[in-house]
Amino acid sequence: MVLFFCAIMAVSGLFLSFKLTASELPDLGDSSASILSTEDDYRLGQAFMHSLRQNIDIVEDPGLNSYINSLGYRLLSAANTSSPFNFFIVNEPSINAFAGPGGYIGIHSGLILATKSEGELAAVMAHEIAHVSQRHLARAFQKASSAQIQTFAAILAAILLGSPELGTAMIATATAGSIQQQLNFTRDHEREADRVGIDILANSGFEPDHMSGFFYRLQEAYRYMESNLPELLRTHPVTPSRIADAQNRARQYPQIDEQTSAGFPFIQAKLRSYDKASQARNIKRLEVKQASAQALSIAEQYEYALLLLATGKFKTADKITNKLLDETKESAIYIALKAQIEMATRHPDAAVARLQQALLLFPNQPQLSTLYAQALIDSGQPKIAANQIRTLIQQQQKFILPSYYQLLAKAESAAKRNSNAHVAIANYYYMIGQTRAAIEQLEAALKQPDNTSFQNRRIKAQRDKLKRELLETEHKPTH
């Protein structure tokens, strides 16, 4: 898994490896559009995500996904781009972020935990947005020689065909002997992404010096650890001149009254609670702080309750959660935490009542909606659960997580609507890039005896569409 992820990152590096002066910003007539069209970029992005979902651990938590996309779209509101974007969190402790084709931007959980503020996280995301908005991928095509394009196409074909080993071997061959040249070329794009990213950062209400500040802090922390640099510093080489350029650009902006989300520390708390290897250590850290008469912050209390829930200490987790709710009753994250405890202690009816009320305050909030659906299933109301998930899927559109379809399949199966369950799991398989498995599920759906003629027509149309896609992929040339 790690090897293929490195291969994907190497492809991203190859995308950005051709020389371009910092002043060459694309305009509406940029000829790069004729090299990689918007449609091609979208299709490449879909294939890229399918490959990632099969080979790396992408965080499926609806609350975390909602946060990272909300922050991303706040930044996009200040970016001069009409490209579609999708932001996601990779469950990896390393400090890294990357921009793939089709506007897919991945942020490692380790990077989120390494940032000291939402502004620092926003700075990294703005930088990655700039890579996409400046069409570095298309411009790499434009600058490449025919031989490089062939290699590039072969690598992409390997990914599209789902062959990690082939892709890794091709990348190793393609990059041998040209590492320094690629590094130098990449720095031109990095400076450009810094400049455009700083503009995005400032225009969306964040202090523009977060970008130089974060990179400088990382560089200083790892100054004497060349062999153990964070992946972010390897894929985004930092030099004193680059930091100085970013600082000078940031100084051109007037003082900004920064508006940050109060939820950022809670996002970090939730990510820490997910790391099973360090759950006991983090519980001990918080207990030691408490024992030394240091009051835990609200975010630390939330983290403590999450950790206790994750390790089966439900009674203490419930006590802390009740205290948090007493102080802030209308908090979606506290309500969600309380409902999770109720479900874990086998009180799904209480969770259903709580979440039903909460959704009146926060309609279609992803985390509350998915918990509500699960609670409905647990309380014997799967048909209502299925309707809840369908509504969420319709409302979320481009922010749909594969896990939504897993939950829908569970609800439909519990409701004994087997055809619908097969279709839901087919959508799940398709989202994670397993098109053949998706087709098999649709074939199984067609065999259900209680299908209406309309259902059969709809399922056949979906199956035939996936078959055509699979056929196109399998016959894509590799040279």
Residues annotated as part of the active site: 128, 194
Distance linking the first and last C-alpha atoms of the chain: 25
Burial class (CB in 10 A: 0-12, 13-18, 19+), 106: buried
* Buried-state track 338-352, b at ≥16 Cβ within 10 A, e below 16: bbbbbbeeebbebbb
CB-based burial, 49-64: b 16+ in 10 Å, e otherwise:
bbbbbebbebbbbbbb
Burial class (CB in 10 A: 0-12, 13-18, 19+), 228: exposed
* Residue 433: both structure tokens together: 């890039």
Give the residue from 354, 338, 343 showing the smallest Cα distance to 378: 343
Q: If you ran DSSP here, which 8-state letter would residue 58 be given? A: B
Q: Which residues pair with 105 in a beta bridge?
A: 87, 99
CA distances to 89, 167, 311, 445 from 61, in Å: 9, 30, 18, 28
Q: Which two tokens stand for residue 248?
A: 């000078």
- Greatest Cα pair distance in the chain: 69
Dihedral angle computed from the Cα positions of residues 56, 61, 63 and 67, in that order, rounded to the nearest 10 degrees: 0
